[in-house]
Amino acid sequence: MKVEEKGHTIIIKDTEGNIQTFLEKVTDQHNSYKNHNLVLDVTQDESVTIASLKLCSPLSKIHKKGKKSFVIVANAIDFNSVPASLLVVPTLLEAHDMIEMEEIERDLGF
């Protein structure tokens, strides 16, 4: 697990290739990330499926209640099958773009 902070966003990269273990570590350390926008980068794990991404739903809900963005970066999935409750994008650049859009929406009161 590699953690990188860029301004108001924390990017956490899965370096082990096991999304369940990665998600457990992120969940355990959530208190230290809860005041930042969070990007989970699982592009290294080629075995990521929609079912494994759905495991992120509880953490996503908790994080979004704090009025912060929660974005998952994955590239080997069918994006049309991702549940609407999760925000999944194929690249880090798109993750940053989504966070900026969500921040603008929050600033405008949406």
Provide the residue ranges of all domains of the chain, joining segments of one domain with +.
2-108
Measured distance CA(73)–CA(42) in Å, rounded = 6
Least confident of 16-20, 31-35, 61-65: 16-20
Measured distance CA(25)–CA(33) in Å, rounded = 12
Q: Which superfamily, per CATH, for 2-108?
A: STAS domain (3.30.750.24)
Contact 36, 69 (CB under 8 A): no
- pTM, two decimals, is 0.93
The per-residue pLDDT for range 47-90, each reduced to its tens digit, is 899 999 999 999 999 999 999 999 999 988 999 999 999 999 99
